[in-house]
């Protein structure tokens, strides 16, 4: 009887005292939700690529082909013409490939800069519609292609592409009934990582050599 | 909103319903993760992984138990597996430190009761500690613990009893605290 009473006393005391064990801090709801959305989008994108490798290669091939045609047209207009009127093809295939990637990267960076600048301006003006989400998804596809290309061999470019990937995922995942907090988190993230200044400094001076359909 | 409606909307890909489900359960999931992990960064990682898995697998939720019970089963799986990995990593670090002759210095000879209690709970076998934290600290019932850990209710009760006995032995020199 005495032992049972003692046990009960101990259990009551223990339950009270143990409340201090790993006492939780307030739940960081918004921060965790944001990371959950980004991680889910990342995993979903990875699954699509893993399940459909042909899609990845088709997109890459199509992008390079389109750029190749664009460069061909551009050089046909501005390039060297051999005696007899036949255009001269360059013998430096690797050099051509690098040019294609550089052109693709430059064009992508210009489009993304225009897009993010417009996105921020619209937010400041209290606008912002669902077309941004579609554009962000388009740019996200190109971002991931470039991350897998030789362009991303440059650590600075890779860092920039990864920052842009994160921002574009966030924009593409914005809920239809978003509030200012959702968009504030995106703009704060852009500011903290100086995304726009880094993006602008990565775009070479002068006109973008090739423009394809859908460029904004 | 009714929980069944909420689940159906999440299954249909409704982002607002996903957020509503998250808001309804995140506090308890995070609390449990924090109590078991004792670290904010780890607790956040475990909470995030719990909800990512829950959204992925919600299609397999049959509704035999409450959604919260199902979520807490995922939480305990994620936390316990995660802690196992962390423990292995820390053990490797400790081994490296020992090999280098680096140590954290002597511990206090006589820590206070709170510190002693924390260390005594930390030292419990994993199963005992999990049941003790869930029941005595977070207030889960033995039925909920049984579902979450995949054990019989009787096993949960037995493990709690053994956990208390071990803690009592560890804290024997503080006996006056609870007798008075």
> What whole-number distance in Å separates Cα of residue B52 and Cα of residue A42?
11
**B164–A14 C-beta distance less than 8 A:** yes
**B121–A13 C-beta distance less than 8 A:** no
| Residue B111 binned pLDDT confidence (cut-offs 50, 70, 90) | low
Which residue of A2, A3, A21, A176 to mutate against B (max B Cβ within 10 Å)?
A21
Residue B77 confidence (pLDDT): 95
CA–CA min distance A32, chain B (Å): 6
Task: Share the mean pLDDT of chain A.
Answer: 74
Give per-residue pLDDT as tens, A73-96: 666 665 544 444 444 445 455 666
Instruction: Pick B16's closest partner by Cβ from A27, A32, A177.
Output: A177
Check pLDDT > 90 for residue A205: no
**B48–A36 C-beta distance less than 8 A:** yes
The rounded percent of chain A whose pLDDT value lies above 90 is 9
Contact (Cβ atoms closer than 8 angstroms) between residue B118 and residue B139: no
> What whole-number distance in Å separates Cα of residue A35 and Cα of residue B29?
16
Phi-psi bin for B110: left (phi > 0), alpha (psi -120 to 50), beta? Answer: beta
Residue B103 confidence (pLDDT): 41
Mean pLDDT of A154-173: 86
Beta bridge partners of A87: A81
Check pLDDT > 80 for residue B58: yes
Check pLDDT > 70 for residue A54: no
Which residue of B17, B26, B129 to mutate against A (max A Cβ within 10 Å)?
B26
Check pLDDT > 50 for residue B179: yes
Q: In 3-state terms, what secondary structure has residue A81?
A: strand
| Residue B114 binned pLDDT confidence (cut-offs 50, 70, 90) | confident
Taking contacts as CB-CB distances below 8 angstroms, the residues of chain B near A35 are 44, 48
Assess A43–B contact: CB distance below 8 Å, yes or no. Answer: yes
Mean pLDDT of B111-121: 86
Nearest CA in chain B to A44: B56
| Residue A104 binned pLDDT confidence (cut-offs 50, 70, 90) | confident
Instruction: Give residue A100's Cα distance to chain centre.
Output: 21
Q: What Å distances lie between residue A81 and A20, A39, A100, B89, CA to CA?
A: 82, 52, 20, 65
Taking contacts as CB-CB distances below 8 angstroms, the residues of chain B near A9 are 178-179
Taking contacts as CB-CB distances below 8 angstroms, the residues of chain B near A20 are 114, 117-118
Predicted interface score ipTM higher than 0.85 = no
Helix B67-100, helix B40-57: angle, nearest 10:
140
Taking contacts as CB-CB distances below 8 angstroms, the residues of chain A near B140 are none
> What whole-number distance in Å separates Cα of residue A166 and Cα of residue A42?
9
Of A44-58, A134-148, B47-61, minimum mean pLDDT range: A44-58
For A25, counting Cβ atoms within 10 Å of its Cβ (0-12 exposed, 13-18 middle, 19+ buried), the class is exposed
């Amino acid at each position: 009887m005495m032992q049972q009473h003692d046990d009960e006393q101990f259990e009551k005391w223990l339950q009270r005292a143990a409340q201090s064990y790993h006492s939780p801090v307030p739940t960081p709801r918004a921060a965790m939700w944001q990371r959950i959305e980004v991680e889910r989008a990342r995993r979903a994108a990875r699954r699509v690529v893993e399940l459909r490798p042909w899609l990845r290669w088709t997109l890459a091939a199509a992008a390079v082909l389109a750029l190749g045609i664009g460069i061909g047209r551009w050089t046909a207009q501005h390039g060297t013409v051999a005696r007899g009127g036949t255009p001269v093809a360059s013998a430096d295939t690797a050099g051509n490939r690098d040019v294609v990637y550089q052109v693709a990267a430059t064009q992508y960076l210009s489009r993304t800069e225009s897009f993010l600048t417009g996105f921020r301006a619209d937010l400041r003006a209290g606008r912002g519609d669902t077309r941004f989400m579609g554009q962000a998804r388009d740019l996200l596809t190109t971002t991931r292609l470039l991350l897998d290309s030789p362009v991303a061999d440059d650590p600075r470019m890779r860092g920039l592409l990864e920052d842009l990937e994160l921002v574009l995922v966030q924009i593409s995942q914005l809920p239809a009934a978003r509030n200012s907090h959702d968009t504030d988190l995106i703009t704060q993230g852009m500011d903290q990582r100086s995304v726009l200044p880094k993006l602008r400094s990565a775009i070479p001076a002068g006109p973008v050599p090739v423009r394809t359909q859908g460029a904004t | 909103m009714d929980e069944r409606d909420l689940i159906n909307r999440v299954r249909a890909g409704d982002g607002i319903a996903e957020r509503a489900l998250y808001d309804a359960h995140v506090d308890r999931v995070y609390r449990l993760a924090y109590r078991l992990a004792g670290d904010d960064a780890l607790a956040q990682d475990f909470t995030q992984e719990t909800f990512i898995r829950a959204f992925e697998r919600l299609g397999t939720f049959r509704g035999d138990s409450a959604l919260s019970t199902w979520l807490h089963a995922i939480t305990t799986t994620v936390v316990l597996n995660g802690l196992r990995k962390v423990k292995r990593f820390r053990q490797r670090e400790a081994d490296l430190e020992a090999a280098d002759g680096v140590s954290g210095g002597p511990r206090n000879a006589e820590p206070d009761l709170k510190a002693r209690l924390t260390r005594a709970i930390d030292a419990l076998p994993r199963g005992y500690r999990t049941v003790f934290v869930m029941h005595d600290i977070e207030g889960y019932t033995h039925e909920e613990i049984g579902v979450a850990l995949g054990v019989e209710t009787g096993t949960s009760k037995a493990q709690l009893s053994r956990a208390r006995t071990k803690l009592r032995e560890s804290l024997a020199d503080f006996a006056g605290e609870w007798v008075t």
